[in-house]
Amino acid sequence: MTAMPYEPAPPEAGYPGSTVRSIVSLLLFVHVFCLFVALSTNYFLSPLQVQLLNAPFLAPYVQFFKIRPTAPYHLTDGSELSDDHTLEVEVTEGPQKGEIIRLPASKVGASSVKRRFALLARTVAVTSYLGAEQNSAAFAKAVGARVLADGNNEEVIVRCRRYRPQPRLLDTTNAANPADPTDPAYLTNTYQARVWRDRNGQVQLLKIEEKKVVAPLE
């Protein structure tokens, strides 16, 4: 094994001074490490990654500057978590009784407002799917309170509904899969709750459980 003599390259013109270079290099090294931890995954996390992402030296940096993206960058995983969702509020008591308000109710600034409501609906759905019902309830309560206040209503039902995507092989003879993808047959309830104002003026929420079909024992 013959070692080749090493000749260091001449320093490039225009580099910053060695002290500045050392300090910047250290900061860059820390940043690249944070970038690697934050962007090595977006979906599945190992316990080590969870620990690192919550570490006191790393969490403030990657979370405040949004270096760690939390949105689903895989765009779809084929599950209900990736489907389109919508929010609607049915007024059950009050001046607007019987009215169903689909959010966004206004067409002003349609695309950006629609996008935000779609994201809010998906958040309610995802927290519900993942079992974080207290978070779904917090959002549903805020939405319900707003509709109660807007129309001077007494009670509403807030629903988060999922647009089930059409199957690729479409059998239109099957009533469950109509040709129109916006047909109500494709809508399913993901989360629904009754929201009302109590005697003290406080907004209350009670989740409505879907009726389950139970087969008879005999």
Partner 1 sequence: MINAIQQYFARLTQAIGEGWNRFWFTPADPFTVSFLRVIAGVAAVAFVVSHTFGLTDWFASGGWLPVDTVQRVMETEPGEGAAYQWSYLNYIDSPGLLWAAHVAGIAIAVLFTLGLFTRITAVATLLVVLSYIHRAPMLAAQFEPVLATMIFYLCFTPCGRYLSVDRCLAMRKPGAELTTGKPDRSWSANVGLRLLQTHLSALYLMMAITKLGSTTWWEGGAMWWLMAQSQSRLVDLTFLRSNLFLINAWTHGVVLFELCFGLLIWNRLARPLLIGLSVVMWTLMALVTGLVGFCILITAGGAAFIPGSVLRSWFGADRDVDQNGGDASRRNPKGEAATAAA
Q: How far is the CB of 34 from partner 1 (least distance, A)?
A: 11
Answer yes or no whether residue 60 interacts with partner 1 by CB under 8 A.
Answer: yes
When the beta carbons of 170 and 206 are compared against partner 1, the nearer one is 170
Q: What is the DSSP letter of 64?
A: H
Binding-site size for partner 1 (CB under 8 A) equals 78
Answer yes or no whether residue 184 interacts with partner 1 by CB under 8 A.
Answer: no
Contacting residue, 23, 26, 41, 102, with partner 1 by CB under 8 A? 41
Q: What is the DSSP string of 113-150?
A: HHHHHHHHHHHHHHHHHTT-HHHHHHHHHHHHHHHHHH
Answer yes or no whether residue 46 interacts with partner 1 by CB under 8 A.
Answer: no
Answer yes or no whether residue 77 interacts with partner 1 by CB under 8 A.
Answer: yes
Contacting residue, 33, 50, 66, 130, with partner 1 by CB under 8 A? 66
Q: What is the DSSP letter of 169?
A: S
What phi, psi does 106 have (nearest 5°)? -95, 150
Q: Which of 154, 180, 153 is nearest to 166 (CA)?
A: 180
Amino acid at the residue 168: R
What is the helix, strand, coil percentage profile of the chain, to 5?
35, 15, 45
- 163 and 126 Cβ atoms separated by less than 8 Å: no
Answer yes or no whether residue 65 interacts with partner 1 by CB under 8 A.
Answer: yes
Find residue 85's DSSP bridge partners: 162
Answer yes or no whether residue 172 interacts with partner 1 by CB under 8 A.
Answer: no
Q: Which of residues 190-209 bind partner 1 (CB under 8 A)?
A: none
- 187 and 164 Cβ atoms separated by less than 8 Å: yes
Answer yes or no whether residue 139 interacts with partner 1 by CB under 8 A.
Answer: yes
Answer yes or no whether residue 24 interacts with partner 1 by CB under 8 A.
Answer: yes
Contact characters 97-126, partner 1, x per CB under 8 A: -------x-x-xx--xx-xx-xxx--x---
- 115 and 129 Cβ atoms separated by less than 8 Å: no
Contacting residue, 89, 101, 145, 158, with partner 1 by CB under 8 A? 145
Answer yes or no whether residue 176 interacts with partner 1 by CB under 8 A.
Answer: no
Q: How far is the CB of 109 from partner 1 (least distance, A)?
A: 2
- 134 and 125 Cβ atoms separated by less than 8 Å: no
